A and B are shown apart, each in its own frame.
Chain A
């Protein structure tokens, strides 16, 4: 029988960090389930790294407690935490061979020499770099160095694998490959992992859970689809993907949805949430969720959430096209459409439809 997974292998309880006057991380509660890969996602300076470094012991929380496997680790020194950490710039020891780099953690764990050798060569095979034991780090490419760093971190069988933007120093084309590598190895070993990134594609593609952060505060926490499809606030909607935002006021309830009076004078049907007449809201629609058709082929005039306008800008991105459509009342919508026949050109008259279930309502933030 498989052992029950611990839903909070790493637990943050009211963790806060201040550097002098700078509040890097606000009081945060967070659980990292055993065996999962959790991503801390947010723009630069939002406190991701600080949160990660507090798990490693490289920073001390100003307030709050961190638990690993139920044990409070605030006062456990770094070297006794049994964690693997991967840094942005690899941080391989430049004066040591690849073997000595990978074996480094094992040397402090009272493991016999022959076993060290075996473990190192197995770890190198796992990252698909067998036989590089005797080279120096400077003789390897960036991508290879990061794979060695991965081998060095997993060979000690850490309780938690911590990764701080491990792909951001790599070339664009290597990044995808390395991401898959990390993803595969993480799943194969089932090691609980915390992954820090500012890249939403990385986060969406490999995470079991995404924690979106901004200004030192956790904004939303959930599976990739949930975070992407049901953003909790303006920031999350804006940071993940391309969204259109229009302010409005709830006019009335209408079946499952709400009739919203937009500030540009249009009316729109939206779904979800629990609102009262007169509530100030913000309507969010993803650029990909808007349908765009030529104006003259548009069928019925009474279709809901249908707006007419002209193509103002377009950029062809191969496979899909990004349009900015200027509506008759001046509002500009961002629409990303899949190219089926031929893309619209600048100035073409079009009809844009926003299906009500893709129109999300957020409380207007003042």
Chain B
């Protein structure tokens, strides 16, 4: 059995890891279609009853709405901050540039628990109550590094000579941005917004610290439901979340590729 050493072992190991990672996900999706209250394999019947029940659960629908609103606002705000920040970092020189860049990217390196507690301590110090605004600010801080990195990377790839050409032709720096830089940056901005939305949409750890009873998000809601029941509704909800977080970026990738081909760039 000399052949079963080296690469073969690594291959088997890899496959096992993937099985270990994906089995629960597959199980959740399968069980969400189970007709029985207590799921066990083999399943005894196929039904959509948990999805129907889910769509009638007001508190879950509420959480869904919260998640969508929060995710959308987060992605818009984050992108609105990331674009000028990326322009400043890539196109201009100023004192403290490195420090500011590191600061904005820091949330990527800090554990979410720490970030969650830190923001809470901060608003405590400001003597403010927890609110939707806090949650929004938290998510912006959380997702900004990713958007900033995506936009910066693209901006580095956009040759300055296009902007220089536009300016020599008579466009002011602001007009140049809208006529040249922004359209060339658009795919990255779009990708960044989606990135930001999905991260916000399925974040649990930090959101657990920031959410109040009124503005629970779906992941937080699931977390809560898991604590005191094991309703199969959770499986259905989980399946919906999985579907959204996987299909959204895929769709975005497809759209942006078509977009890029259309513009001939």
B:162-187 near A, CB below 8 Å: 162, 164-173, 175-176, 179-180, 183-184
- Could you tell me if A79 and B168 are in contact, using CB atoms closer than 8 angstroms? yes
Q: How far apart are A147's CB and chain B's nearest CB, in angstroms?
A: 15
A:125-174 near B, CB below 8 Å: 136-139, 152-153, 156, 162
Q: Does B265 contact A (CB under 8 A)?
A: yes
- Could you tell me if B264 and A156 are in contact, using CB atoms closer than 8 angstroms? no
Contact residues in A for B162 (Cβ distance below 8 Å): 91, 93-94
Contact residues in A for B170 (Cβ distance below 8 Å): 79-80, 82, 105, 108-109, 156
Instruction: Report the separation of the CA atoms of residues A279 and B169 in the bound assembly, to the nearest whole angstrom.
Output: 54
A261-273, CB under 8 A of B: which get 1 and which 0? 0000000000000
Q: Does B159 contact A (CB under 8 A)?
A: yes
- Could you tell me if A91 and B171 are in contact, using CB atoms closer than 8 angstroms? no
Instruction: Report the separation of the CA atoms of residues A93 and B179 in the bound assembly, to the nearest whole angstrom.
Output: 10
Contact residues in B for A239 (Cβ distance below 8 Å): none
Instruction: Report the separation of the CA atoms of residues A87 and B176 in the bound assembly, to the nearest whole angstrom.
Output: 17
A81-118, CB under 8 A of B: which get 1 and which 0? 11111010101011100000000110011000000000
Q: Does A56 contact B (CB under 8 A)?
A: yes
- Could you tell me if B168 and A138 are in contact, using CB atoms closer than 8 angstroms? no
- Could you tell me if A85 and B168 are in contact, using CB atoms closer than 8 angstroms? yes
Contact residues in A for B109 (Cβ distance below 8 Å): none
Instruction: Report the separation of the CA atoms of residues A23 and B167 in the bound assembly, to the nearest whole angstrom.
Output: 26
Q: Which residues of B are at the interface with A, using a C-beta cutoff of 8 A?
A: 159, 161-162, 164-173, 175-176, 179-180, 183-184, 263-265
Contact residues in A for B179 (Cβ distance below 8 Å): 104
| A87-B161, A104-B179, A138-B264 given; A93·B166 CB < 8 A | yes
- Could you tell me if A95 and B183 are in contact, using CB atoms closer than 8 angstroms? yes
- Could you tell me if B265 and A79 are in contact, using CB atoms closer than 8 angstroms? no
Contact residues in A for B264 (Cβ distance below 8 Å): 94-95, 136-139
- Could you tell me if A138 and B167 are in contact, using CB atoms closer than 8 angstroms? no
Q: Does A77 contact B (CB under 8 A)?
A: yes
Q: How far apart are A119's CB and chain B's nearest CB, in angstroms?
A: 13
Instruction: Report the separation of the CA atoms of residues A327 and B173 in the bound assembly, to the nearest whole angstrom.
Output: 64
Instruction: Report the separation of the CA atoms of residues A241 and B179 in the bound assembly, to the nearest whole angstrom.
Output: 46
Contact residues in B for A81 (Cβ distance below 8 Å): 168
- Could you tell me if A93 and B180 are in contact, using CB atoms closer than 8 angstroms? yes
Q: How far apart are A29's CB and chain B's nearest CB, in angstroms?
A: 24
Instruction: Report the separation of the CA atoms of residues A158 and B99 in the bound assembly, to the nearest whole angstrom.
Output: 43
Q: How far apart are B79's CB and chain A's nearest CB, in angstroms?
A: 19
Q: How large is the interface on A (under 10, 10 to 19, 20 to 34, 35 or more residues)?
A: 20 to 34
- Could you tell me if B172 and A79 are in contact, using CB atoms closer than 8 angstroms? yes
- Could you tell me if B165 and A79 are in contact, using CB atoms closer than 8 angstroms? no
Contact residues in A for B172 (Cβ distance below 8 Å): 77, 79
Contact residues in B for A139 (Cβ distance below 8 Å): 264
Contact residues in B for A156 (Cβ distance below 8 Å): 169-170
- Could you tell me if B161 and A152 are in contact, using CB atoms closer than 8 angstroms? no
Q: How far apart are A318's CB and chain B's nearest CB, in angstroms?
A: 38
- Could you tell me if B175 and A56 are in contact, using CB atoms closer than 8 angstroms? no
Given contact pairs A79-B167, A85-B168, A108-B175, enumerate 13 new A-B contacts (beta carbons under 8 Å): A56-B168, A58-B168, A79-B173, A79-B175, A84-B169, A85-B165, A91-B159, A91-B162, A91-B164, A93-B166, A94-B264, A108-B171, A137-B264
Instruction: Report the separation of the CA atoms of residues A162 and B168 in the bound assembly, to the nearest whole angstrom.
Output: 10
Instruction: Report the separation of the CA atoms of residues A153 and B167 in the bound assembly, to the nearest whole angstrom.
Output: 12
Q: Does A78 contact B (CB under 8 A)?
A: yes
Instruction: Report the separation of the CA atoms of residues A95 and B264 in the bound assembly, to the nearest whole angstrom.
Output: 7
What are 22 of the A-B contact pairs (CB < 8 Å)? A58-B167, A77-B172, A78-B164, A78-B167, A79-B172, A79-B173, A80-B170, A81-B168, A85-B164, A85-B165, A85-B168, A87-B161, A91-B159, A93-B162, A93-B180, A94-B162, A94-B263, A94-B264, A108-B169, A108-B171, A136-B264, A137-B264
Contact residues in A for B168 (Cβ distance below 8 Å): 56-58, 78-79, 81, 83-85, 162
- Could you tell me if B263 and A93 are in contact, using CB atoms closer than 8 angstroms? no
- Could you tell me if B169 and A104 are in contact, using CB atoms closer than 8 angstroms? yes
- Could you tell me if A95 and B164 are in contact, using CB atoms closer than 8 angstroms? no
Instruction: Report the separation of the CA atoms of residues A4 and B10 in the bound assembly, to the nearest whole angstrom.
Output: 83
Q: How far apart are B181's CB and chain A's nearest CB, in angstroms?
A: 10
| A89-B161, A95-B265 given; A104·B184 CB < 8 A | no
Chain A residue at smallest Cβ distance from B260? A95
Q: How far apart are B109's CB and chain A's nearest CB, in angstroms?
A: 32
Contact residues in B for A138 (Cβ distance below 8 Å): 264-265
Instruction: Report the separation of the CA atoms of residues A108 and B161 in the bound assembly, to the nearest whole angstrom.
Output: 19
- Could you tell me if A91 and B161 are in contact, using CB atoms closer than 8 angstroms? yes
Contact residues in B for A83 (Cβ distance below 8 Å): 168
Closest 9 CB pairs of A and B: A105-B169, A136-B264, A108-B170, A78-B167, A85-B168, A91-B165, A94-B265, A91-B161, A138-B264
